[in-house]
Structure 1
Amino acid sequence: MYKSFFHQQTEVFYQKLGRGARTVMLIHGFPEDGSIFQYQCDFLKENYTVLVLDLPGSGKSSYNKELKSVEDFAELIRGVLQEEKIERCFLLGHSMGGYIALAFAEKYSKHLLGLGLIHSTGFADSDEKKDNRKRAIGFMEQYGGASFLKTMIPDLFGKAFKEAHQAVIDEMIEKGRNFETKALQQYYSIMLLRKERTYVLKEINVPVLFIAGEADKAIPLKDILQQVVMPDIAIIKILSKAAHMGFLEESSTVNDAIGQLVGFM
């Protein structure tokens, strides 16, 4: 069931599924919307309340030019929880969604039961990656967001998945046509401007789940291995066949790991 609320005079949509006493909230990455978590929603909704946000500029939620940082997007998470009168939740984010989740954890840790970083990191972008994002923003300005996504999306997946599930990738590319270029540029801007938040992982007092793909070029496994020792309680799942989209590439394994996190408390 889709619901909505207004944030900074912009309507933001989210799905609410299940009826469990505990709540799990999922935050999608770039270039996705909440529907990307279908396998995780089907897995969780029998025992948990599941909230899945369409970030502004994605899915049903309108673009909001006033959002300038991951911190601004993190306030949306707080807004959903307030709308639903939920005091604490498990919060999991994929890639960009993980950056937003970490920003939320920094300010609102008391509202967390657990944190999940799905192919995401507490490190800031390197100078090289910042330069790459700036070039991508310029490319999108010249050629449009859809043209950028057509070349970018296939690289998010591992070789075996691409060979076996080309239709999934084609569908994601086709859905990419629905994004406004300015929204995609906004996402890249907030990612390159974000600060390092490994100190949040060192200070957090709830379990943290790390999902990493051995073939992930966007968030290398070596970076995740440096961070998994930071929280007091950490769970790590290394996906041998996945790149950056493990929740699709190895969905059952990822679901089992999420089940371990949400069943920990």
Structure 2
Amino acid sequence: MNLDYKNGTIHYTVSGDGPTLVLLHGFLETIDMWNDFIPEFSRSHQVICIDLLGHGQTDCIGYVHTMEDMADAVLAVLIHLKIEKAHVVGHSMGGYVALALAEKAPQLFEGLCLMNSTFEADDKDRQLLRTRANEMAKTNYDNLVRLSFANLFAPESRISFKYEYQTTLQIALNTSVQGYIAAQEGMMLRPNRLEVFKNIKGHKLLIVGKKDNLVNSKQLRAKVDNTTIDFEELSEGHMSHIENKSELSYFLLRFIEK
């Protein structure tokens, strides 16, 4: 399904009936990342998946897509569908978008799961990497995506999940250069939203991978100790929906049933 939005369209899907679960994909991903989870989740919930700005079948609306811009697009879909309450799961960049949405519409949330994601802002080193990547994207996009994509998987996962690796890499390569740059620019601008996460009413869950090169598991665990945020660590890398599929499904089902 498509929703007209700011001279473009937002693509989304709705599956099942019941309480609402919103699934938000990460950078260079699409709603397809949730395909293996929707049949199980939709038995008890209405599952809404949304292609974020500049990704999948959703159009770019500018040369910078802030996390607030993406949250506004998500909110437009939820208002269109008359959704008043939802559990939200965000993978990587999808978690940043979910936190921006929680700041705008805290009353919407019955729970928030940050999956291979963080509430922290980019440090200066990460901002510099994003800036350099955006420059390279203008001239050597294919190689840039291929080189950076390997970092998302634990080393052994690139072999044991070879088919999935190639499939998700192709999806990443299909993202437009404008979508890539606009999202990178937006991620650089996001603030630390730990307090937003803490203040959400309902179940709060942080899922990280022990071998994740993008998210510091020990650092995040220390910052959520002695809070109402639950913490789960999986054994592999950034792509838990591939590398730790059964364990992730278990934790997400527990999350949405609370």
Which of 95-104 and 175-184 deviates more?
Answer: 175-184
Q: What is the CA deviation profile of residues 178-220 of structure 1, one whole-angstrom value per residue up to 9, with x for unaligned ones?
A: 2111110111111111111111123222211111100001011
| Corresponding position: 1:260 with 2:254 | yes
Q: TM-score, normalised by structure 2?
A: 0.95
**Partners of 1:12 and 1:62 within 8 A in 2:** yes
Identity within the alignment, % = 26
| Corresponding position: 1:11 with 2:9 | yes
Q: Cα distance 1:231–1:86, how it changes in 2: closer, same or farther (>3 A)?
A: farther
Find the partner of 2:242 among 240, 248, 252.
248
SS at match of 1:254: helix
**Partners of 2:64 and 2:183 within 8 A in 1:** no
Q: What is the CA deviation profile of residues 57-83 of structure 1, one whole-angstrom value per residue up to 9, with x for unaligned ones?
A: 211112221653111111112111111
Which of 113-122 and 161-170 deviates more?
Answer: 161-170
Find the partner of 2:198 among 179, 196, 202.
202
User: 1:98: which partner in 2?
Assistant: 95
User: 1:237: which partner in 2?
Assistant: 232
Q: TM-score, normalised by structure 1?
A: 0.93
Distance 1:223 1:14 in 2: 34
Distance 1:70 1:96 in 2: 8
Q: What is the CA deviation profile of residues 135-163 of structure 1, one whole-angstrom value per residue up to 9, with x for unaligned ones?
A: 1111101212x321111112101123212
SS at match of 1:85: coil
Q: Cα distance 1:22–1:42, how it changes in 2: closer, same or farther (>3 A)?
A: same
**Partners of 1:70 and 1:100 within 8 A in 2:** yes
Count of matched residue pairs = 258
Find the partner of 1:165 among 161, 165, 169.
161
- 1:54 Cα deviation (Å)? 0.8
5+ long unaligned stretches in structure 1: none
Distance 2:223 2:200 in 1: 13
5+ long unaligned stretches in structure 2: none
SS at match of 1:142: coil
SS at match of 2:214: coil
AA paired with 2:121? A
